[in-house]
Every structure is written in C-alpha cells, then in structure tokens.
Chain A
Amino acid sequence: MFEHEGLLKEFQWVTKESEKKHIGESIAKTSLAMQEISFALIQGDNESVDKLTKENLENGISANEILDNGLLNGMSIVGVKFRDNIIFVPEVLISARAMKAGMVHLEPILSASGIEPLGTVLMGTVKGDLHDIGKNLCIMMLRGAGFTVHDLGVDTSPEAFEDAFGEHGPDIIGMSALLTTTMPNMGRTIQHFEDVGLREEVRLMVGGAPVTQEFADEMGADAYGESAVDAVDKAKEQVALLKDLKS
C-alpha cells in the first residue's frame, strides 16, 4: 500500500490503466523507506536521495531493492509525467541528478554482484548533432533496468558506430537526434550497416524529440523509442527478438 502521502499524490498523474496497475502494484509492495526515496527522486531532491540511499544500505537493505523499489519506481512516475507534458526537461534533469546521487552508492555494489545484464546497448547521438540530454536520459534508464550501455557520445559517425560494434558486440545500437537537420544521419548509419554486411547482426533503434514512428520506419529502423521509458521497453523486446532471429 501507499504509505507515503506525497508519493500517492504524485501517483495521481499516472492515468493509463495498464500503467496504474503496473506502477501501482510495484510501489504498493514497497516499504515506506523505499517510497521516501521514490518521492525524493520525483522532487529532484538529490541531497535526500543521497542521504536515504546511504542510510538504507547501512540498514542492510540490498542495492537491488533500493534501485528497483526506490529509484526506478520514482523514475517511472517521472517518465509518465514527462511523456504526458506534466513536466519538462529541466524537471527531468533534476530527477536524473537525484538518481545519479543514489547510483553513486549502488553502482559499485551492483557491478560487483556479477548479475548477467539484460543485453548490451551502444548509444550515440548521430553525426552532426551535439545534443545529448535525451541520449543520457535513455542511458540512465537502460542501465537502471539492467542493460550494459556503452556511450559513444555525440556527433557519432556511421563508421564510429561500426567500430564500436566490432569492439563491444552489442545487441542494440541506439541512435539519438534532436535536430530535424541531422535526423537523416540515422538513415545513413542504418544504410552503412547494410553496406558493410552487419545489418542482420544487431537491432537498430532510433529516438529523439523530432523523431516519429513514421520517420523511423522510413529510415529502416527496427524500433522507435518515444521516450526514455519507452526506449527501455522497446530495448527489451528487441533483445528477445534478436535472440529468436539468431536461434
């Protein structure tokens, strides 16, 4: 049940039935301590998230529980509010900063635990585009969900994607763009993977503020992530699909 009144109020922004069920059930099974972390994250209160994460670890709560039941539950509500234009990028950024404040304590423990990742993703903003907020939010959500993510940064050429593919052997390559003028470089990267014979080896995803499903289809992408939250769901689907295709 919701023990934290502030979090319950924030949950009112979740209106889609399927999400109400999914996020509601996920929060309802958590303790007040985890709900406090979720709420602090939604508020962008990085100092509280930092303090609460440390305290809970000291109290013997596992890093996985804090990540899943505290930070990611909070981030799910942030994702819904962002998608539904209740909040915008500055508000998401302060929540992301709060998430980072918690992850500083959790990451060393999680990486030492040796849990198998859900998949490996290469992420980069396409050639000619130096914007990285959307890409960074996606990376944060993907890592939180259990993916290994290699960040290629901004202004990533098709050849740089190919080189990184050779180095990391990812399941997914995620391309981001903020500018309508650079979006066509997604298509050029996809074409490059065709040209060098690697197209069938990896799933290619696209996203970014001006990108649409129609554009993704025209460029020949395998999937389009409408938001950072959606990108995680699509990435899970694409990893499963790639396994089927390769089996």
Chain B
Amino acid sequence: MNKMTKKQRVLAALNRQPVDRPPVANPTSVATVEMMDLVDAPFPEACRSAELNARLAGTEITEFDFDAIAPYFSIIQESSAIGCEMQWEQKDNWPTVRMSNPIWKNASDVKIPSNFLDHPDVKVITDSIRILRNEFGNDVPIIGKTMGPWTLAYHVFGVEAFLLGTIDNPEETMDSLNKLLEITYLFGEAQIDAGADVLTVPDHATGDLVSAQYYQNFLQDIHTEMAEKFSVPIILHICGRTVDRMPFIADTGLNAFHFDSKNSPQEAMDAVNNKIALVGNINNPETLYSKDVDDVKKEVFDCLNAGVQIIAPECAIPLKTKSENLIAITEGITDWLAENEKKN
C-alpha cells in the first residue's frame, strides 16, 4: 500500500478502511509538563491562550510523531463559558469545574449565553485550531473536542444531584440532556468551521457510575442523532468499564469509540462486532505513568493483535508522563509491523 498522509491514515482508520500502518492519536490529550517546559506553554495558560494552546498541542506531532493533533486538553472550556465555577490550577494539575457548587438545579435553568462562541475560553480552542491548520497544513488531522450533554450535566448540576435526578425524575433528565445538547452542537460546529477534521465527544456515562441500560435509555438516541448531524467523523469517549454498553454504542452510527484499559482490547473488539472503530486503550496510571518502554510496547501489541484501529492512551494522560513512554507507542507500532512482516 502507498504511504498515506497522517490525515488519510486517521480518517481511513476511523472509517475502518485499510491503512498503510495503524495510526497513533490521542483524541483526548497528550499535554505533559515536560512539553510545557519545552515550548514554554504551561497550564493553565495553555488552556486559556490560543497561541500557547497551539504551541503545546503541536508537540504531539513535533516531539512524538503522532498522527493527529488534539488541542482541547481538558473537559472544561465550554463549562467555563456558561458560567461554572472554575479551578484553573497550575502547571502540574488539570483545570477543573467545582461541581460541588453547581450553577443550575433543573432543566428550566439551562440557558446558553448568546455570546457563548465569543467567550475567551471557547474561542481559545477555535482560534488554536486555525493556528494549527495554518502551521501544519492540510495533511495533519486536527481533532476537536466538544462535551456531550451527560458530561455537561455533571458540571452544571453536580454529579450527585444529576444522578439522583435520573431516578427521581427521568423525564426532567431527558429534558436537561436535550437542552445541553445544543452546547455540544454549537461548540462542535464552531470547531469544524475553524478547521477540525474530527471531533471527540466525551460523554461520561461510565460503567463506574451508571448501567448499560442508562446508556441505552438516556444517550443512545442522542448519540445516533449526533452521528447524523455532524459533518465530520465523531469519536465518542467514555472512561471506565464500558464493554457492557459497547454494543449499544456500536449501533449509533458514530465512527469510533475511545475506550479505557478496564476493557481488554479483544473483548472490546468482540463487543462492537466491527460496527464502529476502536481507539485505545493503553493504561495511563500504571503503564504510561509508572512503567517502562517495554511495558508500553506490550500493550500496543495487545491492541494491534486484537485489531484496534487507532492506538492511543486510554484517556488524557497524566501530566507527568515521561516522553519516552509516549514515543514508545509509535515505536511499538513499528516493531509490531516488523514482526508481522517477518512472520509473513
């Protein structure tokens, strides 16, 4: 097969088509403290200035030779824009929403500010996408990110109140999700207009919190609609144990699912039955953060042997992850290809 550009490779993998080599791309984040120091773009400034954001995001290509750039590092930009109380933290900690001080109580409170897309914490991502497109050209895919309504609901209502509401008043929960979905679309479309080739939609209906039935009842239709409405490939991201809901996710028509190391690559591939591409699932806290290059490569081999289409860390990587372990992901793919060539 002819050598593909990074963009051709990623888009083909997302559509479960043949590739010249399996791509590596983290649809969530590969920001690290080491890279912040290297390009002088530390957190939280790199989450709030488009120029610093683009500089840090670009290291995914320049330092690790991954196949895509994902400039939205955290999961809080749009929550900041709609008025959530924020904790921006410092270089070695993630910015986060103070969910213990929720801004809204029920669906009727959900109101999207008219100038949402002009808010600096939203604009930083769209402006950064434009900078990156300019800098890296058309052959490098840019993965934008827009939060799904379930994740937004945690931020605006608080996790506990929102989950209690799912039992006390499920109709109200659906109403809230449908209203919050407008934010998902607004921000997603703005990133596509700015040049994003792909969107990640984190929507944390994780098995650590809710059942597969919850996913089916509250989110499957919403994600199915998303697959139809967005004009670019969509990668759904849900942390934690999700294999029980993967058959439902696979039926949505979304292009890909970014899965956690709590699910083995093979059981995940079996669960989705070739209806959706898989992205994942190298363990973050134990392997990438704490172990060595050989351990990383072993997990790359496990993913490739199972047929996972895009190799990636399971989620946004810990900020103090060593660069050599990230480089080992790409090296692991090269080693796997060489081993397979020998066998054939």
Contact = CB atoms under 8 A, between A and B. Distances in A.
A180 B285 contact: yes
A133 B159 contact: yes
A182 interface: yes
A184 B320 contact: yes
B339 interface: no
Interface in A132-154: 132-133, 136, 153-154
A57 interface: no
A43 B249 CA distance: 30
Given A88-B209, A94-B167, A209 B286 contact: no
Given A94-B164, A209-B240, A182 B94 contact: yes
A154 B98 CA distance: 10
Interface in B178-230: 206-211, 214
A209 B159 CA distance: 14
A129 B99 CA distance: 10
Nearest to A153: B100
B286 A214 contact: yes
B284 A180 contact: yes
B162 to A, nearest CB: 9
B87 interface: yes
Given A130-B87, A130-B98, A212-B286, A90 B318 contact: no
B160 A180 contact: no
A155 B87 contact: yes
B164 A184 contact: no
B319 interface: yes
B94 A93 contact: no
B159 A184 contact: no
Nearest to B92: A128
A183 B239 CA distance: 14
B315 A90 contact: no
A97 interface: yes
Given A130-B98, A133-B159, A88 B240 contact: no
B164 A97 contact: yes
B163 A209 contact: no
A183 B160 contact: no
Interface string B78-118: 00000000010100011011111000000000000000000
B290 interface: yes
Nearest to A90: B163
A131 interface: yes
A129 B285 CA distance: 15
B163 A130 contact: no
A198 interface: no
Contacts of B163: 89-90, 93, 133
B166 interface: yes
A91 interface: yes
Interface in A86-133: 87-91, 93-94, 97, 127-133
A247 interface: no
A184 B210 contact: no
Contacts of B286: 212, 214-215, 218
Contacts of A129: 96
B167 A181 contact: no
A136 B94 CA distance: 22
Given A90-B164, A94-B167, A128-B93, A181 B159 contact: no
Interface string A164-187: 000000000000001111111000
B96 A89 contact: no
Nearest to A177: B285
A137 to B, nearest CB: 10
A87 B167 CA distance: 12
B232 interface: no
B60 interface: no
Nearest to B286: A215
A91 B159 contact: no
Given A131-B159, A212-B286, A154 B94 contact: no
Contacts of A90: 163-164, 166-167, 209-210, 214
Contact of B99 (A89, A130, A179, A184): A130
Contacts of B248: none
A218 B240 CA distance: 20
B314 interface: yes
Contact of A154 (B100, B289, B319): B100
Contacts of A153: 100
Nearest to A179: B94
Nearest to B90: A128
B164 A127 contact: no
Pick the most buried of A93, A181, A212: most chain B CB atoms within 10 A of its CB. Answer: A181
Nearest to A127: B93
Contacts of A130: 87, 96-100
Given A127-B93, A136-B160, 20 more contacts: A85-B207, A85-B211, A87-B211, A88-B207, A89-B210, A90-B163, A90-B214, A93-B163, A93-B164, A128-B96, A129-B96, A153-B100, A155-B87, A178-B208, A180-B284, A180-B314, A180-B315, A210-B240, A215-B285, A215-B286
Closest 5 CB pairs of A and B: A209-B208, A128-B93, A90-B163, A180-B284, A183-B285
Interface of B: 87, 89, 93-94, 96-100, 159-160, 163-164, 166-167, 206-211, 214, 239-240, 244, 262, 284-286, 289-290, 314-320
